[in-house]
Amino acid sequence: MLIKSICKIIQWVLKKMGRGTAFPGILALKLDKNFLGKFKKPELLVFVTGTVGKTTTAAMITAILKTAGYKVGTNGKGSNLLAGVCSVFIEHCSITGKPNVDAMVIEVDERYVKTVLPYMTPDYFLINNIARDQPARNGHFSIVFHDISDHINEKPHLILNADNPLSYSFSLKRKNKITYFGIERNRFSSSQSNEKVDVSYCPVCNAKLVYDYFNFGNFGAYHCPECDFKRQPPAYETRIIEEGITIEGEVVKIPDDTIYNAYNMAAAYTVMRVAGVDKKDIIEGLHNIDFDAKRFQQFSIGDIDGTILVSKNETPASYTQSLEHILRCEGAKTIAVGFTRISGRYDEKDVSWLYDIKFEILKDDDSIDEILLVGPFAYDLAVRMKLAGVDMNKIKIVYDHEDIYEELKKCRSHVFCVFYFDLSKHLVKVLKEKGDKLW
């Protein structure tokens, strides 16, 4: 009780100062490594993890619950390691550990699930997907899979992505309640993946898997010709239409045509339906969701219009989706790709993940006027582009990222900036300083 009181006071002071969210949890864990296990669960507790989509999906679930009248606590600012999870429980409880909210939606980093589950079991555990990501940190995706799988007990209701073989594999040899979500074949689907296929062989019998189609990356329909391992029917099949998606006859609009947001919506919808939330509240909550504007912004520099698409480094699915979105846009275009550092957490120089991004889709597109490669890794990007078969006459190196603004002014067509957080923040800062239009 004393530790909770001290940490709540520190948290209150830090909020008044407008400072960090994780420190109270860091302090609490130093004083008591079992600190998280001292809390009582709220009426509803949802955990969200996976390689991509954690933050957005958790935000969707939170919006739905608020629409349904729940008082909700969440670590929506992204403090998804153990200390951050502890901090959000400190914030939303009394000094005795009793929750002061009806529900909590907790985003948990996929590598830190193993540090959280021993102390706190959710009612619903959503595993969006597992895919290759951050190789210098995660190593192989099978390591991430086992980090999670080995720590799930029989109590949580698992919500799994039927279209992702690794997510579906969490259901094998388990007694948990399990519900699947997924998306039908649609206009984005193809017979070949635009990325390396993570799961080529059946995890049950080791026969080579057959993929009937891919929606994007490693998401789609698959089956094993030798055993029963195959895509499972989703509880609430999602269809993609021109306006967005449709689930159980209800239409939900998506502000862009990115299929990963359709998957996020399908996941959030499924969790809330099995949790007993009224369908009308779910649809209204999804309609009211405020997508992170910082990850998708428009700007103008003189007569040149542009779009910033923030794509997370070391996550091929995010980068490839951004490139596919750009190529679907009509008209001539300039593409700028770059970053000044690879990771926000680690000082590393590994660029192997660039070879899992499907830059090959850029090589035969006549709508591309020019490709700007920006930042200190510009020549690494240039080597990757050359190996992808991209016309090197279209390539321009902007090694000093401070020059990007002046280079954008010279462009002849709409500019799509596929930047990491560091470079996008720099560009937004310069645009504001110059008084250019940004929305």
Are residues 54 and 114 in contact, defined by beta-carbon separation less than 8 angstroms? no
202 Cβ neighbours under 8 A, 6+ residues apart: 208, 209, 224, 226, 227, 229
Give the chain's end-to-end CA distance (angstroms, integer).
46
Q: At 150, which helix (H) or strand (E)?
A: none
Tell me the sheet residues that pair with 249. none
Predicted TM-score of the model (pTM): 0.86
Q: How many CA atoms lie within 13 A of 352 on its CB side?
A: 11
Cα–Cα dist 149/161, whole Å: 15
CB 84 within 8 A of CB 27: no
pLDDT computed for residue 17 by the predictor: 45
CA–CA gap between residue 251 and residue 67 (Å, rounded)? 17
Separation of alpha carbons 156 and 182, rounded Å? 20
For the record, the structure tokens of 297 come out as 């912004």
pLDDT along the chain (439 residues), means of 10: 54 51 74 85 96 91 96 83 87 81 95 94 96 78 93 97 96 96 92 78 95 89 97 94 90 78 94 97 88 74 92 83 90 96 79 92 94 98 97 97 96 96 94 92
- Which residue reads 């990222």 in tokens? 401
Question: How many whole angstroms separate alpha carbon 52 and alpha carbon 35?
Answer: 28
Burial (CB < 10 A; 0-12, 13-18, 19+), residue 81, is buried
223 token code pair: 């089956």
Q: Name residue, tokens 């001539």.
A: 332
DSSP line for 215-263: EETTEEEEE-SSSS-BPPPPSS-EEEETTEEEETTEEEE-SS--HHHHH
Read off the amino acid at residue 157: H
Q: Which of 215, 225, 158 is nearest to 182 (CA)?
A: 215
pLDDT, residue 254, reads 80
Whole-number Å distance between alpha carbons of 85 and 127 = 17
Helix 259-274 to helix 279-287 angle (10° resolution) is: 150
Q: Report the distance separating Cα 1 and Cα 166, nearest Å.
A: 41
